[in-house]
Amino acid sequence: MRAMVLTQEHGFPQLQNVPDPVPGERELLVKVEAAGINYADTMMRRGFYIQKPAFPYVPGFEFSGTVVELGPGSLPSWQGARVMGLCQSAFAEYVTVAEAQAIPIPKTFSYEQAAAFPVVFLTAFAMLKISAKAVPGESILIHAAGGGVGTAAIQLAKKMGLAVIATASSDEKLERVKTLGADFTVNYMKRDFVEPVLQFTQGRGVNVVFESSGGDFLDKDIDATAPFGRIVVFGMAGGTLPPPNLAKMFKHSISVTAFWLLTLTQQPARFKVIVQELMDFVDQQQITPVVGKVYPLKDAAEALKALESRQTYGKLVLKP
């Protein structure tokens, strides 16, 4: 099969022929119709992701497609099913996925939308429910609001009854996230976000912050957070993440916590519950992923460069 193979750190994946994957016990072989691109893919390429890949490897953490073969012990009902989910090596024509991590695609989703769903919506939903324990009537500050997690988190938080403050690097992105439900927006390239956030919340600060930018954002987040607020760190796009200022945190009893989706997948029972709750919520609220642009599989390097430029909106998707 064809796949995009990355052979060295700081390089870009190239199209190569590799052996077809074979499904193991309770695994499914899926013909990939689309693969989602995540910022974690760019971090792995550049060598500062929490996981260090063994080169050569095929990038890609999520997929959508059709089940074409069942591994030993898999339920026969999966044969021919439209599925999406988390995996390794999604930038390819075929992938294997654990049966427990395969998610039926909603009838209203295209394959492109389905490929843009698993990582960002599971991340945003789990952070809201598990890490932040967000409740209706609270406020949330979402950075990088025009990205994959940002566009997912805005929709979910708004439907859960939270007031949403969004930051992004361009006015164009901010205009677009308003259509997703953002109540207040700040272009952090033009002004510091702390004072506008405090003004919007009438001096109280926000109850929840989703932080993925790194650099000096965390210190500013603490300044913008209400007493007993919760800051959830799930990335460091800037490449660095200074330690939080405990003195500032003490002042308002603020907590800083971290979230990594892999931790959730390693707890099968909890993962299953979150997936079911999310799919029920998405179905009831008629939420759909935001697909920014679709690239051919062979143009994965171009797509990664676009994502790293921070000029993209929504999720980027590859089509084999």
Instruction: Give pLDDT, residue 126.
Output: 98
User: Are 166 and 255 part of one and the same domain?
Assistant: yes
| The last residue of a domain, from among 244, 260, 276 | 260
- How many folded domains does the chain comprise? 2
User: Are 179 and 217 part of one and the same domain?
Assistant: yes
Give whole-number Cα distances, 181 to 162, 201, 258, in Å: 10, 17, 25
Instruction: Give pLDDT, residue 238.
Output: 61
Cα distance between residue 132 and residue 129, in whole Å: 6
User: Are 98 and 143 part of one and the same domain?
Assistant: no
User: Are 164 and 135 part of one and the same domain?
Assistant: yes
Instruction: Give pLDDT, residue 239.
Output: 61
pLDDT tens-digit profile, the chain (320 residues): 999 999 999 999 999 999 999 999 999 999 999 999 999 999 889 887 888 888 999 999 999 999 999 999 999 999 999 999 999 999 999 999 999 999 999 999 999 999 999 999 999 999 999 999 999 999 999 999 999 999 999 999 999 999 999 999 999 999 999 999 999 999 999 999 999 999 999 999 999 999 998 778 999 999 999 999 999 999 876 666 778 889 999 999 999 999 999 999 999 999 999 999 999 999 999 999 999 999 999 999 999 999 998 889 999 999 99
Q: Where are the beta strands (DSSP E) in 92-221?
A: 94-98, 102-104, 139-142, 163-168, 184-187, 206-211
Q: Which tokens hold the place of 271?
A: 């993962």
Cα 177 versus chain centre, distance: 16
User: Are 57 and 107 part of one and the same domain?
Assistant: yes
User: Are 217 and 310 part of one and the same domain?
Assistant: no
- Is 282 inside any structural domain? no
> Could you tell me the CATH number of the domain that includes residue 183?
3.40.50.720
| The last residue of a domain, from among 242, 260, 278 | 260
Nearest to 178 by CA among 39, 126, 187, 255: 187
- Is 267 inside any structural domain? no
Cα 146 versus chain centre, distance: 12
User: Are 42 and 71 part of one and the same domain?
Assistant: yes
User: Are 110 and 139 part of one and the same domain?
Assistant: no
- Is 102 inside any structural domain? yes
Helices and strands in the chain, H and E counts: 11, 15
Q: Is the alpha carbon torsion for 80, 84, 88, 91 positive or negative?
A: positive
User: Are 146 and 106 part of one and the same domain?
Assistant: no
User: Are 224 and 137 part of one and the same domain?
Assistant: yes
> Could you tell me the CATH number of the domain that includes residue 91?
3.90.180.10
DSSP β-ladder status, 94-98 and 163-168: unpaired
User: Are 108 and 178 part of one and the same domain?
Assistant: no
- Is 268 inside any structural domain? no
User: Are 99 and 209 part of one and the same domain?
Assistant: no
For the whole model, what pTM was predicted? Answer: 0.96
- Is 277 inside any structural domain? no
Which residue type sits at 80? G
Query: What range defines the domain where residue 43 resides?
Result: 2-117+289-319
**Cβ atoms within 10 Å, residue 56:** 14
